[in-house]
Amino acid sequence: MRRGSGPDRAALWAASRGGVIAARVLVEMGLSESTVYRRCRDGGPWQRLAPGIVLLCTGEPTEDQLVTAALLHGGPRAVLTGLAACLRQGVRRGPPAGRKLQLLVPDDRQVRHTWFVRVDRTRHMPVAVRRGGVPLAPLPRALADGSRTLRDEREIAELFSDAVQRGLCTVAEIADELDAHGQHGSATPRRVVRAVRDGIRSAAELDAQKLWARSGLPEPLWNVAVHDGSGRFLGVADAWWDDVALAWEINSIAWHLKPADYAREQAKSARFAAAGAQALRPPPCSPPPSRRTPRAPGGRR
């Protein structure tokens, strides 16, 4: 191709990944470096998402375009980790990923953070799993990495407990990943892992456990299967005192009383009542408002 004429828009878009392309590829296709960066200036038809990474249109980039740009920035062995990787592997609760993505890159790579990418260099690169063509850290690693950027125990509890309840991974797998990659940022996630191991299934239950610990009253069994005298299964009580046949149902508007779950909750209450068990059922609590938490720069792990 004769340098100067340059490829047309269709050829450029075909060579990109959803409109995202490395500047060096554009130069290889016949555009000069000055032309590439001139088109990325304010008012130009393109924009620069990361050093050497171009989006062939203006406007707000999509999540997929940002993920593609992040992986191109990270290099051929980079994998997406953290909250965005958790969402792509089926986790539905926990804080939103937002626009800040987390990458894992090999320790010998010199890759800088950008406005939308946190880069963690590691000596322990995981074997990537692929979802929709995107290389992801396996879920236990993604959960561990994402939790290190959070400070709110309730957010971490929702993240971990949802993954465990859905059968996507085990508590032991999350704990192993937290143990394997250093102590930095892991104190709060480790406390939450212990709570989830003890049966906590949501942020609301974590709050309830803390409240009860301060009460000085007898400790219940948390999330225990309850049967009547003949062995018939009544349901799983959020908290249960066997000596007095008392259940405490800790309902959260967002995750315990969804329309699809309402009939099941009512049926369980009826079974407990018919067996002579009492149930404390305070008004459902709402989850805390979502908030953005400061993220420390990624370091070598």
Amino acid of residue 261: D
Question: 180: which residues sit within 8 A by CB, 6+ positions away?
Answer: 124
- pLDDT tens for each residue of 173-191: 999 999 988 777 789 999 8
- pLDDT tens for each residue of 81-104: 999 999 999 999 888 877 789 999
* Closest of 229, 251, 248 to residue 240, by C-alpha: 248
Please give the residue that has the higher pLDDT: either 246 or 87.
87
* Closest of 254, 251, 227, 222 to residue 238, by C-alpha: 222
Q: Where is 225: in which H helix or E strand?
A: strand 221-227
Q: Report pLDDT for 257.
A: 42
d(CA 109, CA 121): 7
In this structure, are residues 174 and 144 in contact, taking their beta carbons and an 8 Å threshold?
Answer: yes
Amino acid of residue 245: A
User: Helix 153-165 crosses helix 171-180 at what angle (to 10 degrees)?
Assistant: 130
- pLDDT tens for each residue of 99-126: 789 999 999 988 999 999 999 999 999 9
Q: Report pLDDT for 281.
A: 67
d(CA 273, CA 161): 28
Q: Kindly state the DSSP code that residue 81 receives in the 8-state scheme.
A: E
